[in-house]
Chains A and B, each alone.
Chain A
Amino acid sequence: MTHFKRSLVIGLWFMFLALPLMVVRVNTLNHEIEWRWANMLWLGFCAFALAWFWRASTERRAARQALGVAAGRPLLAKLSWAQRLSDDPALSRRLLLIVAAAALIFPWVVSTSQNFYHVNIMVSALIFVVLGLGLNITVGLAGLLDLGYIAFFAVGAYTYALLARNFDLGFWTCLPLGGIMAMFFGIVLGFPILRLRGDYLAIVTLGFGSITKIVLENSEELFGGAAGIAGIPRPDLFGLVLDGREKSLYSYYIVLALVALTIFVTNRLKNSRIGWAWMALREDEIACVAMGVDMARTKLSAYALGAFWAGLVGVIFAAHNNFINPDSFTFMDSAMILSMVVLGGMGSILGVIIAALALKLLPEYLRAVAEYRMLVFGAVMVLMMIFRPQGLISNLRRKYERAPADESDGHGK
C-alpha cells in the first residue's frame, strides 16, 4: 500500500509541476486565457502509473535476485551480445561482411531515379558517423571533452566553399586541404588550452565553437555572412555529367568510403603506441606523464587528428549540400556529436556508429511526430544515461586477468 501512496504523491507532484506551463496559455493578442485541465490530469495519471510500475518491477527483480543467491547461484553479470561478438573473430568477420555488402547495395534498393530521398538522408547520417568517430578520438580515447567540435567541421566546409569559389579548385584537391586546414586549427587552438582541466577545457572549446559561428555570421564579404555560400560544386567524377540521383549515389559512396577509412584508421590508432598513450592520459594524467609520455604532444595529436576527420567530412558536407551557412554549425550539433560518442560508449567504434545512425536517422523518420521528436530525443538522452551510463557498447578492454563480472566498473573518471 505504501507503494500506492508514494506513487500517488509522485503523480500529484507532476500535476503540480504541470499546472502553469501545461494548463494555462495566455493569448496576449486577443487577451484570452486558455485552460487545458485535461493535460494536467493526463500527466498526473501517467506519472502515477509509471512510478507504480517502476517500484513494482524493481521489487520483483530484487526478490528474484535474493532467491537466486539463496539457491546458491552466483550473481554473474550476463555478457552483452557485443562482447560475445568481439570475442568470436570468425563471427564478427562474417557480420562485418554482411554489413559492408548491405551498405554497398543499400542505395540501389531504396532509390529510384525520381526518389533518392533515403540516399540523401543516409549521406547526412554517414557524415555524422565520421564526425562521431573523429570526436571519438578526442573525447573517447584521449578523454579531452570538446564541446566545440563542430567548428572543425565548419572549417572544412568553408575551406572547400571558399577555394572552389575563389580559386576554382576541384573537390578532390580540396578534400585533403580541408582536413589539413582543420587539423591546423586544432593545433593552433590546442596549444593555449593544454593546461586546462576537464571542465574548463569544455567551456573554452564551447567558446571557440561559438566564436567560429559568430565570425562566420558577421563577415559578409569573406564568408557570406548569415546567408552563407551557395552554388558549391558537387564532387566531380572525371568530368562526367551526373543527374540528380547519380550525384546522390556518388556522394553516398564517397562518404561510405570515408567511413570505412575512418573505422580502419581509428581501429589501428586505438591499438598503436599513440592510442595507448591517449588512453593512459585519459585514465590518469599524472601517472601517464610520470611514465614518460609527452603530454603536450599526445594531447595535441588527439586534438589535431580529431579535427582532421571533421575537416575532411566538412568538405564532403559542403559538396553534397551545394550550400552552407552558419546555421549548420551550432552548439546543438556539437552536443549531438558528443552524445553520439557517449551514447555509443566512449572509445567504442561500433557503438559510436550505431549511436550516430540512430540519432540522425530516427529524427528523420520520426517526422510524423516531428513536433515531439526533440522532446523525445532529450528524454532518451537522460534515460540512456540513467540506465546505461557506459553507453550502448561499453568500451571493451583487453581482459587479461579480469573476471567478466566486474566489467561494469572498468571506467575511469
Chain B
Amino acid sequence: MDSEYFFELLCGGLVKGSIYALIALGYTMVYGIIQLINFAHGEIYMIGAFVAFIVSGVLTLTGYGGPTVLLLAAVIAIIYAAAYGYTLEKIAYRPLRAAPRLSPLISAIGASIFLTNYVQLAQTPDFLPFPELITDFDFMEPFSRYVSSVDLVILVVTTLTMIALTVLIKYTRVGKAMRATQQDAVMARLVGINVDRVISATFIIGSALAAIAGVLIASRTGQINSAIGFMAGIKAFTAAVLGGIGNIPGAVLGGLVLGIAETLGAGYISSAYEDVFAFGLLVLILVLRPAGLLGKAVKQKV
C-alpha cells in the first residue's frame, strides 16, 4: 500500500518534472549563450498555451474535433511562440548586448510584465477551460491509477522532443554553431559564425519547447490563465539552476528532480508547502554544490 502510494507520487512527479524540464531547456540554452536570465520565458510558455486554446476553440466551434485539432493547435502554438520569442529577443535583449549585466535582466522583467498584461487585455484575466483533446486510450485502463492517458502523452512527447533537441544540437550545423557560440562568442564570430543568427535560433528553439510544454500542461490541468507563466517560469528556472545553468542534460535532470521532490514533499508532508520544497531543495543544493548538479565549477582566473 505504502509503496503503491509512493509509486503514484513518483509517476506524478515524473510528469510534472518533464514539463519543468521542457521549459528549463529554454532558460538554460539562452543562458548558456548570452548569460541572460530570460524572465519572460514563462510568458512565452503562457502565450503558447493561449494560442493553442484559441486555435482549438475556433476549430471545435466550427465543427472539427479529435486529435487532428490538437496537433494543428500545437503546431500553430509552436509557430507563434517561436515568433514571439524571436521578436522579444530583437526588441528587448538585442539592443542591450553590451549593457551592464543587470540591464537585460530588468528589461526581461519588464517584458514579462508587458506580455502578461498584453494577453490579459487582449483576451481575458479569467481562467479559461482548456478543451480535453486527448481522449483516454483503452490500453491505459489497467495503469490509470498511476499514469493517465494525458500523462502518457506528456511523457512520450517530452522524451521525443528531448531526443530531437539532442540530435539538433549534436549533429546539425546550427547546433554546432550554438555550441561554438556557447564556448566562446568572440572566437565563434572570428571563424565566421553569425552569432546574432545563432542567438535568434536559440530563442526560437527555446520558445518552441516552451510552447510544447504549454500545450501539454494546459491539456493536463484543463485550464489556462494569463498569469500561469510566472510560477512556471520561476520553477523552470529553478530547475535549470538546479541542474547547473547552461548545461542541457542538467536542465532535464534538474526538472525531473524538482518535479519529483515537489510531488513527494506535497504527498507526504503538506501540499500547501509544495513551493517551499522546491525552493528549499534549490537552496540546499546550491549551498552544497554552488554550480548545480551537473554544472562545472567555474574557475576564476585573474
Please report A residues at the B interface, Cβ cutoff 8 Å: 13, 16-18, 20-22, 24-26, 28, 31-33, 39, 139, 145, 192-193, 195-200, 202-204, 206-208, 210-211, 214-215, 217-218, 286-287, 290, 331-332, 335, 338-339, 342-343, 346, 371-372, 374-375, 377-382, 384-386, 389-390, 411-413
Contacts and interface: CB of A to CB of B under 8 A. Distances in A.
B154 to A, nearest CB: 23
B299 to A, nearest CB: 11
A198 B101 contact: yes
B79 to A, nearest CB: 10
B282 interface: yes
A227 to B, nearest CB: 15
A214 B95 contact: no
Given A26-B53, A202-B37, A342-B106, A378 B114 contact: yes
Given A25-B123, A195-B290, A390-B100, A382 B111 contact: yes
Given A204-B286, A385-B96, A412-B100, A28 B110 contact: no
A378 B241 CA distance: 25
A374 B117 contact: yes
Contacts of A218: 270, 272-273
A210 B96 contact: no
B295 to A, nearest CB: 9
Nearest to A330: B230
Contact of A339 (B84, B104, B109): B109
A339 B108 CA distance: 11
A206 B123 contact: no
B276 A214 contact: yes
Contacts of B300: 286
A21 B106 contact: no
A203 B282 contact: yes
A217 B302 CA distance: 46
4 closest Cβ contacts across the A-B interface? Answer: A381-B110, A378-B114, A26-B57, A378-B113
Given A17-B83, A195-B290, A208 B107 contact: no
Contact of B113 (A372, A381, A389): A381
Interface string B86-106: 010001100110011111111
A192 B283 contact: yes
Nearest to A18: B122
Contacts of B203: none
Contacts of A24: 54, 57-58
B100 A371 contact: no
Interface of B: 31, 35, 37, 47, 50-51, 53-55, 57-58, 61, 76, 80, 83-84, 87, 91-92, 95-96, 99-107, 109-119, 121-124, 128-129, 230, 234, 237-238, 241, 245, 270, 272-273, 275-276, 278-280, 282-283, 286-287, 290, 298, 300, 302
Contacts of A198: 101
A31 B58 CA distance: 9
Give the secondary structure class of A's interface.
helix
A163 to B, nearest CB: 25
A211 B279 contact: yes
A199 B106 CA distance: 13
A335 B234 CA distance: 13
Contacts of A206: 234
Nearest to B287: A192
B84 A17 contact: yes
Given A202-B37, A390-B100, A196 B109 contact: no
Contacts of A287: 302
30 contacts: A16-B83, A17-B87, A18-B122, A20-B80, A21-B51, A25-B124, A26-B54, A28-B57, A28-B129, A193-B283, A199-B35, A199-B37, A200-B241, A207-B278, A211-B275, A214-B276, A218-B272, A342-B103, A343-B106, A346-B100, A346-B102, A374-B116, A375-B121, A378-B110, A378-B117, A381-B110, A382-B92, A385-B103, A385-B104, A412-B100
Nearest to B83: A17
Contacts of B61: 26, 31-33
Contact of A196 (B96, B272, B280, B290): B290
Contact of A375 (B37, B53, B114): B114
Contacts of B121: 371-372, 375
Contacts of A197: 290, 298
A346 B102 CA distance: 10
A6 B284 CA distance: 51
Contacts of B114: 375, 378-379, 381-382
A411 B100 CA distance: 7
Contacts of B278: 207
